[in-house]
Structure 1
C-alpha cells in the first residue's frame, strides 16, 4: 500500500521498557479508530513482549504485520512494520512521515537518544523527524526511580514540545484488573491525539455516562 496523505496515519513504537501491554493496547485502539499505523519494534521490545505477555510475535516484518491485522480484525495494509534499520520507511523522512508519533513504552535509553539527536535506528530517527517537523511526539516512559540524567533528558524534550506521559495510572476509578490500569493510560494518550474512543472511566463520570467500552 502506498503512503497516503489522506488516510489517518500515525507512528507507534515499542521499546524495551517494561509495560508492553500499553503499546499493544494502543495499537488495538488506533486500528479500531481506522488509523494506518507505522509500527516500530526494538529488539528489546520483542523480549519484553515475550516476557510480560507470553507472546512470540513473528520475526519477519510483513508476516508480523498481517498477523497483527488478523488479531485486531483490521483491514490488510493498516499495519506497516519496519525493521530498525529500514531507512527507506516513510517515517524516516519529513516529506512522508506521519505528524503524530507515540513511543509506548519508552525506555530511558530511547529518551536519551532522542534528546541528543542520535538517530542511530529507525525509532530514534522517526522521533527526530517528528520533532524537526514540529509534529506531535508523545513518550510514555516506565522507569522508577528517575535519575537526574533521566529528568534532565525529559526536561529537554518537554521544552521542545514533546509530551512526557509517564505510565502512572490513577486509581480513582477503582480498577478491578490490570487491563483497567492499562486502559487508563491508553485513554490519556488517545485524548492527546484527539481520538475519541470510549475506554476507561473518566473523573466524575460513571459507566453509563462513559458508554460502551472498546
Structure 2
C-alpha cells in the first residue's frame, strides 16, 4: 500500500517533451516540430530564448504579443490530449530545470551556436541550457538541431563534445527524395527525424522505400 501523501502518476498521462527554440535562423523548424508534437498528444514544455523571440518576429510574423496564442495557432492539428506550457528563459524554477521532472527527452530546434557551446561546456546560463544539462545527467534523449554553415573548428569540437556526452547533434539538413512541393514539406523531412530520435511515432514525412 502506498503511504499517505504520496501521489501516483496516472499511466494514461501524456508523454512529456521539453522543447526549446533559440536564436538561429530557421525558426520554422521549431514551429513545425511543436505542431507535430501537439498533433501526437504530447505535453510540450517549451522555452523560447529572447533571441528566439526576435527570430519569431522576423521570420514568422509574430507581433510580439501573446506568444502562447500565436504558437498554439500554428498548431493546425492539435490532439485533444496534448497541451502546451511555456516558460521564460530565466525561470529556473520551471519543472524542466530539475532532474526530478520526468520527461521523455528534449529538442533544441533550431539550436544556435551559442546554445550549442553553452550546453557542451556545462554553462547553465538559462533554462534552456539547464534543461539540456539535466537531460544529459539523467541519461534522457537530447537532440540539438543545429542550423549554421559553414562550421568552424570550435563549432565542430562543441558538437563532438555534446555527442560524446550522449546527445544527438542533428543538422537541419532536409531530404529531397520525397519531392517536397513546399517549404513546410521540406522542413517536415527534418521534423520527422527529430520525432524519431525522441521516440514519437509519426507520419510527418514520407519515408524511403515506403
Q: TM-score range by the shorter chain?
A: 0.7 to 0.9
Match of 2:45 in 1: 38
| Alignment of 1:134 onto 2:125 | no
Structure-1 separation of matches of 2:200 and 2:89:
27
Task: Name 1:11's counterpart in structure 2.
Answer: 18
Contact kept? 1:66, 1:76, Cα under 8 Å = no
Task: Map Cα deviations across residues 56-96 of structure 1 (whole Å, 9 max, x no partner).
Answer: 253xxxx5335534553465981111111111100000011
In structure 2, the partner of 1:189 is 194
Cα shift at 1:97? 4.6
Q: Quote the Cα distance in structure 1 between the aligned partners of 2:104 and 2:129.
A: 15
> Matches of residues 162-177 of structure 1 in structure 2 within 5 Å?
162-177=167-182
Aligned-pair distance for 1:54?
Answer: 1.8
How many residue pairs match? The answer is 198
Whether 1:55 aligns to 2:74 is: no
The two structures have a TM-score, normalised by structure 1, of 0.86
Matches within 5 A, 1:1-214: 6-58=13-65, 63-69=66-72, 71-72=74-75, 73=78, 78-205=83-210
The structure-2 alpha-carbon separation of the partners of 1:194 and 1:76, relative to structure 1 and needing over 3 Å to count, comes to closer
After superposing the two structures, state which structure 1 stretch, 115-124 or 165-174, moved more. 165-174
For 2:133 and 2:154, the matched residues in 1 are separated by 20
Between the aligned partners of 2:82 and 2:205, the Cα distance in structure 1 is 28
Q: Which runs of 4+ in 1 moved over 6 A?
A: none
Q: Which moved more, 1:140-149 or 1:67-76?
A: 67-76
Q: Distance in 1 between matches of 2:74 and 2:178?
A: 29
Q: Is the 8 A contact 2:41 2:82 kept in 1?
A: no
Coordinate RMSD, CA, aligned: 1.9
